[in-house]
Amino acid sequence: MGIVSQEAILELQALMDSVEEPLNITFQNVHQGFRAETLVRFLKAREWNVAKAHKMLVDCLHWRVQNTIDDILAKPIVPSELYGAVRDSQLIGMSGYSREGLPVFAIGVGLSTFDKASVHYYVQSHIQINEYRDRVILPSASKKHGRPITTCIKVLDMTGLKLSALSKIKLLTIISTIDDLNYPEKTNTYYIVNAPYIFSACWKVVKPLLQERTRKKIQVLPGCGRDELLKIMDIASLPHFCRKDGSGSSRNAENENCFSLDHPFHQQLYNYIKQQSLITEPAQPIKQGSFHVDLPEPAAEETEIAKSLESELQKFEKGNMLSKSTDGIKTDDD
């Protein structure tokens, strides 16, 4: 790290030292004892501009206080049947760790339907996984390895990606905006696997719109990505949809499927949240209803990406319809 970078960290550190309650309390939940690493994340997100990084971090802390994010790990989604429905339609899980000790998160982009609950439940679930990662998993990994581990790896499964993805863009943009504003630079690398042709068409449109630092983090792997991913993790940590070429399924073997509610990661997460709810409100029955978080307005970059994706998917859909209608005419002529 260069002299300029060190100076920027020290300058931002001095600004954050003056932050008072309740912001400094929620800041502790953000940095988990790794203050310098946290400051670097926000500085990177704002191209090392100290004033912009400071504003971003303070805005993040205000968002946390206003939406009581510090309490979200004590707010289980109930009843359990509803939580199961959320898990079945928002496919995400943790399959293990890389050889460097980074948690490996798997995301079923193509097969997630987001159609079993309201937007607020999906946002709540997403933030809970973020907070559990940052407050439980990463500190535990740091302690185990004796060094700061503050980022993760994400493997994105595009199996099943279809034109119906158009209906998910709004929710995915909300989730992406929450991450960009409040959990910046938490992902070391994004690996994209099982990508169908429709992904390739969309990627060509989206790639030029991404910031360079984001583009550098994304790797599109051939097939299920097994061989490439085994260079950085053991097979036990490989997501189930990467186990063999042409597996084409994100819903096999429940004991290996990290999307499943029966997987150890989700069992530990849900039990942790239930235990925290009993500690914070021991005499109160667990309330039903989603944990409402103010949904952010997407940044200009996010909006442009969403519009470009919509446009490309619509073009793809028109092309498909034209192809079908041409096939129909040929059949009639025959």
Over the stretch 216-255, which tens digit does the pLDDT of each residue have?
Answer: 999 999 999 999 999 999 999 999 999 874 444 444 444 5
- Res 290: pLDDT: 64
**CATH 1.10.8 domain span(s) along the chain:** 4-66
Band of residue 285 on the pLDDT scale cut at 50, 70, 90: low
pLDDT of 257 reads 94
pLDDT band with cut points at 50, 70 and 90 for residue 311: confident
CATH classification (class only), 4-66: mainly alpha
- Between residues 165 and 132, which one has the greater pLDDT? 132
14-18, 34-38, 265-269, 296-300 — which is least confidently predicted? Answer: 296-300
Is 328 a residue whose pLDDT tops 70? no
Q: What is the pLDDT of residue 251?
A: 45
Q: pLDDT tens digit string along 51-98?
A: 999 999 999 999 999 999 999 999 999 999 999 999 999 999 999 999
CATH number of 90-241+257-276: 3.40.525.10
Which tokens is 249 given? Answer: 């399924």
pLDDT at 281: 74
CATH 3.40.525.10 residue window(s) in the chain? 90-241+257-276
pLDDT tens string 23-34: 999 999 999 999
> For position 280, what pLDDT does the model report?
83
What pLDDT sits at residue 287?
63
What pLDDT, on the 0 to 100 scale, is given for residue 331?
47
